[in-house]
């Protein structure tokens, strides 16, 4: 890897850390750059997952105010996300990429639609009995746990637009402002990427490019702080628009691969 390529990878990590803290599509920046500098797809995916963990951490810390009162919900959802991450890591190491990538654009497209229509859906849901901001029980809780597992599996396998999927699903089931949904997303994404990265270190060390992972890590560490510092100040309509736009970009990138 040349000096110019190393700078490009670190810069991609910086951009990805910022984007992940605000939206959750940073892999769309780092993954193509890692491929461009010569890493095989699986090696690029694994190295990228390791490198993005520091940015996930700083992003989650930056949103700590929006996490107030959500500890109980996170304790219910995090185990499902972790189990999903292990499932996704297993699939990455044992299945051909085409087996999962065929459905990814459709999943991201569904998430974009859910994010876009979330205000309308929440207004309709408010007309039904129960379901206040702190009312997470029964079918609603089951849906959240299933969504956490599904998005964790996706994140452990590929990770691109994992955050868009999470906000789309959780926004449909939770009566919370968008920034508080984003805070939940950041914590669950941290759990997913950290567990998947640990699994890769244990069982697939030979497929890790440590230099690339380190460069992405350094950039994402700073990017996660910057993204959470400024992203949490964005008005909900602006944040929602950013999520939808990057989701559409993700679909375009995935379809054209």
Block means of pLDDT (10 residues each) for the chain, length 257 residues?
A: 91 89 78 84 85 92 87 90 89 71 68 69 53 60 90 80 79 80 89 87 87 95 90 72 71 69
SS3 9: helix
Length of the chain equals 257
Q: Please give the pLDDT value at position 132.
A: 45
Question: For 175, what's the count of Cα atoms within 13 Å in the CB-facing half-sphere?
Answer: 16
Q: Please give the pLDDT value at position 101.
A: 62
Q: Please give the pLDDT value at position 131.
A: 46
Q: Please give the pLDDT value at position 9.
A: 94
- Which residue intervals of the chain are DSSP H helices? 3-22, 27-36, 41-62, 71-94, 97-101, 104-125, 138-157, 162-173, 178-203, 210-231, 236-256
Q: Please give the pLDDT value at position 8.
A: 92
* Structural contact between residues 27 and 66, judged by C-beta atoms closer than 8 angstroms: no
Q: Please give the pLDDT value at position 157.
A: 78
Q: Report the 10 Å Cβ neighbour count for 138.
A: 9
Q: Give the C-alpha distances (Å, rounded to integers) separating 87 from 82, 192, 226, 247.
A: 9, 10, 31, 24
Q: Which of 61, 160, 153 is nearest to 108 (CA)?
A: 160
Q: Please give the pLDDT value at position 119.
A: 67
Q: Please give the pLDDT value at position 78.
A: 92
């Amino acid at each position: 890897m040349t000096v110019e390529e190393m700078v490009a990878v670190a810069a991609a990590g910086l951009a990805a850390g910022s984007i992940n803290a605000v939206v959750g599509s940073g892999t769309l920046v780092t993954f193509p750059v890692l491929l461009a500098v010569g890493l095989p797809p699986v090696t690029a995916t694994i190295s990228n997952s390791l490198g993005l963990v520091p940015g996930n951490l700083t992003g989650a810390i930056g949103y700590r105010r929006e996490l107030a009162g959500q500890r109980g919900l996170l304790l219910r959802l995090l185990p499902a996300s972790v189990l999903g991450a292990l499932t996704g890591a297993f699939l990455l190491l044992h299945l051909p990429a085409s087996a999962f990538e065929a459905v990814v654009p459709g999943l991201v497209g569904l998430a974009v639609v859910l994010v876009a229509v979330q205000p309308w859906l929440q207004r309709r849901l408010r007309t039904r009995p129960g379901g206040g901001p702190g009312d997470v029980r029964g079918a609603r809780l089951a849906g959240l746990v299933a969504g956490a597992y599904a998005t964790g599996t996706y994140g452990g396998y590929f990770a691109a637009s994992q955050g868009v999927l999470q906000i789309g699903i959780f926004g449909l089931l939770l009566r919370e402002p968008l920034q508080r949904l984003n805070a939940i997303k950041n914590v669950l994404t941290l759990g997913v990427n950290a567990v998947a990265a640990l699994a890769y270190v244990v069982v697939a060390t030979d497929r890790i490019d440590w230099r690339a992972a380190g460069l992405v890590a350094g950039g994402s560490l700073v990017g996660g702080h910057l993204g959470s510092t400024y992203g949490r100040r964005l008005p909900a309509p602006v944040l929602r628009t950013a999520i939808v736009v990057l989701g559409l970009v993700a679909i375009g990138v995935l379809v054209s691969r």
